[in-house]
Amino acid sequence: MQLDRPSKTPRHVAIIMDGNGRWAGARGLARTAGHRAGVERVREAVRTAHEANIEYLTLFAFSSENWNRPEEEVSDLMGILKYFIRKDLAELHRENVCVKVIGCRQSLKPDIRGLLDEAEDRTRGNTGVTLVIAFNYGSRNELVRATRLIAEAVQAGQLDPCSINEHSLSAFVDTAGIPDPDLVIRTSGEQRLSNFLLWQAAYSEFVFLPCLWPDFDRQAFLNALDEYSRRDRRFGAIPARAERAVGS
């Protein structure tokens, strides 16, 4: 069942899923238990996005800095990814979800890279929610890769340096063709972007929630959307009511 789409429903929501380890630690469990509990919240977030008529949902699944975590934890995270794709891909496809993966894939092991490619290929034609999975993603690395691609295009005579602007640069980042996020949500109480969508989030609204990711349920998502609906997005302009007040 879909909810009526309010006029201020965000088209694109991005979420930094933070707090799995702390959630597990508070319960005397291994950190990996928190990651596994977080998978169910991923499923619920996709369902809620569909209900709320959100077109794009981007989830920060694994950052380029996460490789610095203990080897056992990284190995378990890779296992969870494999399990999620193998178990949930068919259901996502049935639900008309289109999967897109952003991040650097060159350094990934062939089996992981193959699963990510399969998820994209199988759901490419779907027209429902676009689920963007940020995996082995870091925004600074993304901008470096985009800059290299631009330099190569200029060197090959395919791009005039004088024509480079914000619009053309956006065509070289991982999210090319995807609208910038209207709303960025971060769980766990932390209030920072952590190298996530630095270019794309220039004018995003931010909602920082105290709950840990495994506790981020449907109601928490809807509450964040309600908070967004009360925001006055100006993109650097003066609100019309303020202009009228100045001119009066």
- To the question of whether residue 64 is assigned a binding role by annotation, the answer is yes
What's the rounded Cα separation, in Å, for the pair 239 and 183? 20
13-40 in b/e form (b: 16+ CB < 10 A) is bbbbbbbbbbbbeeeeeebbbbbbbbbe
- To the question of whether residue 186 is assigned a binding role by annotation, the answer is yes
- To the question of whether residue 213 is assigned a binding role by annotation, the answer is no
- To the question of whether residue 189 is assigned a binding role by annotation, the answer is no
- To the question of whether residue 86 is assigned a binding role by annotation, the answer is no
- To the question of whether residue 27 is assigned a binding role by annotation, the answer is no
Phi/psi for 97 (5° steps) reads -80, 135
- To the question of whether residue 118 is assigned a binding role by annotation, the answer is no
Alpha carbon separation from 69 to 21, 64, 66, 73, 188 (Å, rounded)? 12, 11, 6, 7, 18
- To the question of whether residue 75 is assigned a binding role by annotation, the answer is no
- To the question of whether residue 122 is assigned a binding role by annotation, the answer is no
- To the question of whether residue 93 is assigned a binding role by annotation, the answer is no
| Residue 66 designated active-site | yes
- To the question of whether residue 65 is assigned a binding role by annotation, the answer is yes
Set 18, 88, 174, 182: catalytic member: 18
Set 53, 66, 141, 223: catalytic member: 66
- To the question of whether residue 222 is assigned a binding role by annotation, the answer is no
| Residue 226 designated active-site | no
Mutual angle of helices 110-123 and 71-94, in 10-degree steps? 20
- To the question of whether residue 231 is assigned a binding role by annotation, the answer is no
Alpha carbon separation from 94 to 48, 52, 90, 123, 125 (Å, rounded)? 16, 18, 6, 9, 12
Strands in 12-16's sheet, in edge-to-edge order, are: 98-102, 130-137, 56-63, 12-16, 183-186, 205-208
Annotated binding-site members for substrate:
19-23, 31, 35, 63-65, 67, 69, 186, 192-194
Which segments are annotated as binding site for Mg(2+)?
A: 18, 205
Which residue positions form the known binding site? 18-23, 31, 35, 63-65, 67, 69, 186, 192-194, 205
Q: Which residues have a catalytic role annotated?
A: 18, 66
